[in-house]
Structure 1
Amino acid sequence: MTKLICQRIMLKLSGEALMSETGGNIDPAIVKRLATEVKDLCDAGVEVGLVIGGGNILRGAEQAAEGLNRVTGDQMGMLATVMNALAMQDSLEFLGQPVRVMSALKINQVCEDYIRRKAVRHLEKGRVVIFAAGTGNPFFTTDTAASLRAIEIDAHLMIKATKVRGIYSADPEKVADAVFYPALTYDEALDQRLNVMDTTALVLCRDNDLPMRVMNIFEPGAIMRLMQGEDIGSLIERG
C-alpha cells in the first residue's frame, strides 16, 4: 500500500460545489461523486473532517446587503450549511461510509452538537465528521470555521477545494495571463490579497502552523493522489 503523506485532513468545500449546472441548489449526482472521493480516502486510512459552505442555498452577507439584519442573515446561512451537511451525510452512508454531522448550533434532533473530544473520537474510529453551522457565531465565514475546526482536531493538512488548479494572481477564468503559484507562504498570500480564504482563516492557519493545499476538487482522484505524495495544486505554509 502506498504510504500516505498525512493521516488526518480537513476538507473545505464551497456550497457552490454541490450545485447543478442548471442552477439547482443541491445536485445528488455531484454530492455522490464527492462522497465517493471522500470514501476512497477513508478506505485508504485517511481520517477526514469536512466543512461545506452554504452559498448554494443562501449567503448571509448578501441577504444583509439587501436589508436583512446581518446576524439574522448569518444564522440563516449557518442553517444552509446544515442542509448541505445532511445531504453529504446521506450520500456517504449510502456508500457504506460511517459519518457524523456535528453542528455548532444546537439542533440535536437532526445532528450531534459539536464537542471537540467527541469529534476526535469519531475520526479515530474511521468516521467522517462533517462540521456544520460554521463557528455558531455571526460575522465568521465557513472558511474560518474550517480553519478553526482543523486546528481543534489536530488535522495535519487543510485542503481548500476549488474549481481551478490552485492559486493564481487573478481569476484564471477571467484573466488569460494569470500567474499560477505552486507554493506560497501565508504572509505572501495575505500581503498579495490573493483571496484564497478570508484573512481570519489564513491567519489562524499561519499562527498554528497548519499547511494548506488549494486544488481542483472536480479533477477525479486528485485528492487521493495528493495523499499519496503527488504535488497537486498550490501549497501554502508558514514562512
Structure 2
Amino acid sequence: MHKVIIIVLTLTGVALSQNITVNETDTSQITLVNANDALICQFGSNGTLGTTAGCYNVVPSSCTDSVAMQQNAVNSSATFKFNGTAIFINSLQYQFSPEYTVTLNGESTDVDGYAVPPANSSFSCAAPLFSKSGLDKNSEHTIVLASKGRSPSRTDSQTDVGVFSLISFVYTTDNTTNTSPSGSATTSSANSPDATQKGTSSSIPNAIRISLLKVSASLTVVLALARHLS
C-alpha cells in the first residue's frame, strides 16, 4: 500500500507594470501654456538636412519625432494628470535650455535644463529631465513643468530665459494584485504492485516531484510527496 500526499499551493501577486508615453501632441491630456508643437527639420531625398525657417535640428533623429518648444520661454508650462507609481519628463536639452520648476502634487523642485549635447548633435535627450517613483498607484497625480528663468549654468552673454522644451510625459502603471497563498492537502491510497508480476518491483523508492505552472497572473506550485509504507 502506498500513501501519496499532494499539497497544492496557489500564489497570486504578479506585477503587471507598464510605461505609458503621452507625447506633447496629445493636447487632450497635456495642457500647454506659451509653448507649441514645433517644426522639426527633415532630411531631404539626397540626405541633406532641410533648412526650413524656424525648424529645429533634432539630430540624432532617435531623440523624438515631435516636440513642443518656445523661444525665450517666459511663463511657459505643461500640465499633465495621471494615475501611476512613477513619472518621467522627456525634453530636448542644450546650452540654451532654461531652469525649470517641476511641481508634483503641490511639491516643487527646480531642475536645470542646461546640457552639453554629444558630438554631432544639437540637443541631448539620452536621460529624462525629471523622474520620480514611489507614487501612490490609487491616487491621481498632477505634474507641472514650468520655465523658471535663465539657467545658472549658462556662460553666454545673452539675457533671455532660454528655450522651453517638452517631448513627452511617461508614467508607470502598476496593476499588481496581492492575494494570500491558499493550499489544500489530500491523501489517497493505492495497492502495491504484486512482486510476482513480470516487470514490476516489490519496492518503490521515495520521490519528490515539484512542478511550476504559470497561468495568466497566477503562479501554481504543486508539491507531491510519495512514501512507500511497508
Select the structure that is richer in strand.
2
Settle same-fold status: TM greater than 0.5: no
- Answer with 1 or 2: which has the greater Rg: 2
> TM-score band, normalised by the shorter chain?
under 0.3
TM-score normalised by length of structure 1: 0.20
Select the structure that is richer in helix.
1
TM-score normalised by length of structure 2: 0.21
